[in-house]
Amino acid sequence: MQEKDVIVEVKDLVKTFDGRTVLDGVNLKLRKGETTVIMGGSGCGKSTLLRHIIGSYVPDSGSITIFGKEITSLEESEFDKIRKKFGMVFQNSALFDSMNVEDNLSLALREHTELAEDIIKIMVKMKLELVGLRGFEKLMPSALSGGMRKRVGLARAIAMDPEIIFYDEPTAGLDPIVAGVIDKLILDLGKKLQITSIVVTHDMKSVFSVADRIAMLYEGKVIAEGTMEEIKHSKDPRVQQFITGSPDGPIKFFMDSGGYLEELTK
Ligand SMILES: Nc1ncnc2c1ncn2[C@@H]1O[C@H](COP(=O)(O)OP(=O)(O)OP(=O)(O)O)[C@@H](O)[C@H]1O
Ligand SMILES: [Mg+2]
């Protein structure tokens, strides 16, 4: 694929928290219309990387270019224009509990567009239809199951017709069938709406269902990047250990201290 298709480029990204380097020179490219999965162990910095790309964290050094603009030095108002092209699916769905499903989905449309209320209603209906939740407009979030909340979160993320969707652990805490439904939705949205997606997960089934490309984050760096087939056949023992979920291998985990070796020695 040609360079012109790269819409997000992360270069040499470094972030240190309290003297502990979490991102240690991350390099990553996201290409238009593709689903890129970031996989890696708990606490390796996946969410931190996402938060940098959506502008919630400022890096210590390195650059992030989105749609050709370097975002780390952008004015907040300029970045807001880019942010409008983002859709975000949060791990905990982050729905507003005091608003029904329809209002949760309408919020951004009311705030950021001039659309009439009856048009917004139709758009909300369409998005709910896409995630298989037609007719659930009036339900409050507390009346939804975990899987339904995720789907409402997904419908809300696409309310503004984003060009990029960020998913943080979209299948965490779901039963295997509902997780499969969410994976299929991620795939469908990518294909039907040509949305560029970035999915952060350590659910291997999900990785291999949705990914066009996979990047593995380890010790603050992307240690492997490629197509699904390339990653599956990677000769890197760390990648193989992660894919197979083996407790034995170069990546060490200590039960009694509750962390990976690199966490402890940093
Ligand atoms: N604002 C912050 N202040 C201090 N430390 C932070 C902050 N944000 C993240 N960290 C640290 O960065 C490390 C990576 O956290 P992060 O949430 O990115 O991991 P993750 O890969 O998303 O893990 P998980 O798979 O469990 O969600 C953790 O050790 C975390 O404590
Ligand atoms: Mg996380």
Does the Cβ of 38 fall within 6 Å of ligand 1? no
Please report the pLDDT score of residue 162 as a whole number: 92
Listed by start position, the domains of the chain span 3-85+166-171+198-265
Q: 99 CA distance to ligand 1 centroid (A)?
A: 30
Atom of ligand 1 nearest to the CA of 91: 27
Atom of ligand 1 nearest to the CA of 45: 18
Does the Cβ of 46 fall within 6 Å of ligand 1? yes
Please report the pLDDT score of residue 128 as a whole number: 93
Please report the pLDDT score of residue 17 as a whole number: 95
Atom of ligand 1 nearest to the CA of 217: 21
Contact 26, 217 (CB under 8 A): yes
Quick one: which ligand is closest to 45's CA? 1
Q: How far, in Å, CA of 41 to CA of 24, rounded?
A: 16
Both tokens of 170, joined, read: 């979209």
pLDDT in single tens digits along all 266 residues of the chain: 445 589 999 999 999 999 999 999 999 999 999 999 999 988 889 999 999 999 999 999 999 999 989 998 888 888 888 988 999 988 777 899 999 999 999 998 998 889 999 999 999 999 999 888 999 999 999 999 888 998 999 999 998 889 999 999 998 888 888 889 889 989 988 888 889 999 999 888 899 999 999 999 999 999 999 999 999 999 999 999 988 888 888 887 655 545 565 544 44
Q: How distant is the alpha carbon of residue 27 from its chain centre? A: 16
Q: How far, in Å, CA of 84 to CA of 173, rounded?
A: 29
Please report the pLDDT score of residue 255 as a whole number: 57
Q: 22 CA distance to ligand 1 centroid (A)?
A: 8
Does the Cβ of 202 fall within 6 Å of ligand 1? yes
Instruction: Write the residue with the smallest CA distance to atom 28 of ligand 1.
Output: 43
The residues near 25 (Cβ < 8 Å, ≥ 6 apart) are 12, 13, 14, 62, 220, 221
Secondary structure element (H or E) that encloses residue 172, with its range? none
The residues near 38 (Cβ < 8 Å, ≥ 6 apart) are 28, 46, 49, 50, 198, 199, 200, 201, 215, 216, 217
Does the Cβ of 50 fall within 6 Å of ligand 1? no
pTM of the model: 0.88
Atom of ligand 1 nearest to the CA of 51: 18
- Only one residue has tokens 């650059």, namely 63
Instruction: Write the residue with the smallest CA distance to atom 2 of ligand 1.
Output: 17
Please report the pLDDT score of residue 264 as a whole number: 45
Please report the pLDDT score of residue 266 as a whole number: 42
Output phi, psi for 214, to 5 deg. Answer: -130, 140
Instruction: Write the residue with the smallest CA distance to atom 25 of ligand 1.
Output: 42
Quick one: which ligand is closest to 217's CA? 1
Please report the pLDDT score of residue 172 as a whole number: 86
Q: 48 CA distance to ligand 1 centroid (A)?
A: 6
Q: How far, in Å, CA of 91 to CA of 107, rounded?
A: 19
The SS3 call for residue 241 is: helix
The SS3 call for residue 166 is: strand
- Only one residue has tokens 């350590």, namely 202
Does the Cβ of 96 fall within 6 Å of ligand 1? no
Atom of ligand 1 nearest to the CA of 40: 21
Comparing CA positions, the residue from 172, 155, 166 lying closest to residue 30 is 166
Q: How far, in Å, CA of 98 to CA of 87, rounded?
A: 21
- Only one residue has tokens 């919020």, namely 107
Does the Cβ of 15 fall within 6 Å of ligand 1? no
Q: Which CATH architecture has domain 3-85+166-171+198-265?
A: 3-Layer(aba) Sandwich (3.40)
DSSP for 9-69 reads EEEEEEEEETTEEEEEEEEEEEETT-EEEEE--TTSSHHHHHHHHTTSS--SEEEEEETTE
Q: 102 CA distance to ligand 1 centroid (A)?
A: 32
DSSP for 214-227 reads EEEEETTEEEEEEE
Please report the pLDDT score of residue 256 as a whole number: 53
Q: How far, in Å, CA of 128 to CA of 59, rounded?
A: 36
Please report the pLDDT score of residue 115 as a whole number: 92
Please report the pLDDT score of residue 1 as a whole number: 47
DSSP-assigned beta bridge partners for residue 31: 6
